Amino acid sequence: MSFAKFSSDYLLETFTLVDNLFINEYLPYCDEKQIKTYLTGLYLCANPASDNSLSALSQRLDMTVSEILSAYSFFEDLGLVRIISKEPLQVEYLSLKKSMQPPKKYRGEKWNDFNTHLQQMFNERMLTPNEYNEYYMFLDESKLSQDAMLMIVQYCINLKGESVRYPYILTVARNLVADGARTLQDVEQKLSEFEDQSELLRQVLSSLNRKGSAELEEKQMLKKWQRSWGYEPDAIIAAAKTLKGSKTFFKLDARLNEFYKLSIFTADEMKDWQARKDFLAELAIAVNKNLGVYYESFEHEIEVYIAPLLAKGFEKEALIRLAHHCFTSNVRSLEGFNSVANKFYQNGLLSASSIDEYLISQAKQDEKIKRILEASGQSRAVTVKDRDFYRTWSAEWGFDDEIIMYVASLANGKPYAVAFINQTLANFKANSISTLEAAKAFGVNDKPHEKNFDEREYSKEELRSIATSIDSLSEEDV
């Protein structure tokens, strides 16, 4: 940490230097938000003690985070900055002189027709050699056809007029290439798709209180909302109406992304969104209270745990019951709660009543297991292994509680009582003992079984074959 720093008053009285190359070569092609972002970032580079966070920059410029990232992406394409990280935002400002190095030379005959058609589109001004060179470099790198590039230029002129500059045109072209366009037919199809959205775009712009036409990036957002996220036009308009304050495509994109994560897809669901937000927050508080945890913010919990569980069909009271069950079972984390809830989901237990019935049945079963343990001379709490053993004895091997209690009484005073019960019941099953009378008559052998077979060594192949046959055993085989 530096031992000295400038006062805020001193900083306000000093200057931030802006390279003349930026003013002459780049500033004419930037919009207001791009200029604000570049200059403020330049100021922050010279004053590292200031708050350089993305949220602080967003408040300072009255711009959304998406708009700031978009501006820096624009300058990165021009070679003026390098985005090191978006989360957290780290931007490195580059030398403008390096970005203005002598351009690569191109053979003129290859571009004669392209140059002629390109200049004919701009009746009001002459294109500069640098502009031509930017088009050449892009076409060489992207493998976009010349005819396709000319169609994109005409499309941008139709949108912005002949004052449109090459950085904007190349940004549009770059987005289309990223979307898979390479040929004239590809570009024509993509642009036709955007034009087919014209009526919906008009409605969206109106709902955002926007005049004029939509940018290509905004048209691509609309395409994403419909095709990738599955939103119908009425739902998109409804989402726009939920926005407060300044309304932009970027804010609408963020709101629809939020809805998408919450599985909200229809206009009716969006109209009920605020009530749903209150409901989700109330449920999150109740779950946390019963789980014995505390969090200042619920957004992450709702997105990752609460909303997905509700989407699976859980009732509100069911989740609260499960949270309380987790607390009494010493499961006291949201991850553990989510794991338990998903086990109940796999068994179709989604209502509070079905969960209550299941927990009551489990409590009754634990009482039985507790009596079995006491009969075998053990005084302890019932464990998960105890429940698994009991399930095997009763459900899988078919023994009733009378026989199990009898064997438990025989285990009293023996070391490893549960193991004794397992061995004895397994011996009964192997000998088809199914009643208490038969069990008493059969008796129990505490000594190791006498060998009644000849010993021999088995090959690895024979042992592997035996293991395979054991894996395929069914109840009918034993």
Residue 436 lies in a domain: yes
- Is it the case that residue 8 has pLDDT exceeding 60? no
Q: Which of 191-205, 360-374, 448-462 has the lowest mean pLDDT?
A: 448-462
Residues 366 and 329 in one domain: no
Question: Residues 38-64: pLDDT tens digits?
Answer: 998 888 887 765 566 788 888 888 888
- The residue ranking higher by pLDDT, 149 or 172, is 149
Residue 1 lies in a domain: no
- The residue ranking higher by pLDDT, 320 or 219, is 320
Of the candidates 198, 197, 247, the one whose C-alpha atom is nearest the C-alpha of residue 226 is 197
Highest mean pLDDT among 3-17, 181-195, 358-372: 358-372
- Is it the case that residue 131 has pLDDT exceeding 60? yes
Residues 189 and 208 in one domain: no
pLDDT at 472: 45
pLDDT at 4: 46
- How remote is the C-alpha of 458 from its chain's centroid? 54
Q: How far apart are CA 213 and CA 219, in angstroms?
A: 10
| List of E strands, 268-332 | none
Average pLDDT in the chain: 83
Residue with tokens 């897809």: 265
Question: Residues 324-344: pLDDT tens digits?
Answer: 989 988 889 999 999 999 999
Of the candidates 33, 36, 29, the one whose C-alpha atom is nearest the C-alpha of residue 169 is 29
- Give the pLDDT band (50/70/90) at residue 13: low
DSSP H helices, 47-160, are 54-61, 65-77, 96-99, 108-121, 129-142, 146-160
DSSP 101: S
Residue 3 lies in a domain: no
Residue 237 lies in a domain: yes
Residues 334 and 388 in one domain: no
Residue 191 token pair: 């642009």
Please answer whether residues 312 and 350 qualify as being in contact, where contact means their C-beta atoms are separated by less than 8 angstroms: yes
Residue 251 lies in a domain: yes
CATH number at residue 90: 1.10.10.10
pLDDT at 214: 76
Amino acid at 164: V
Look at residues 350, 379, 401 and tell me which one is the last residue of a structural domain.
350
pLDDT at 442: 86
- Give the pLDDT band (50/70/90) at residue 459: low
pLDDT at 457: 64
Residues 6+ apart with CB under 8 A from 321: 352, 355, 356, 359
pLDDT at 183: 92
Residues 280 and 255 in one domain: no
For 376, the domain range is 357-442
Look at residues 253, 271, 289 and tell me which one is the last residue of a structural domain.
271
Residue 470 lies in a domain: no
- Is it the case that residue 90 has pLDDT exceeding 80? yes
pLDDT at 448: 41
Question: How many percent of the chain have pLDDT more than 90?
Answer: 33
Residue 320 lies in a domain: yes
Residue 155 token pair: 């499309």
90 by DSSP, 3-state: which?
strand
pLDDT at 11: 56
**What is the total count of domains within the chain?**
5
Residues 266 and 282 in one domain: no
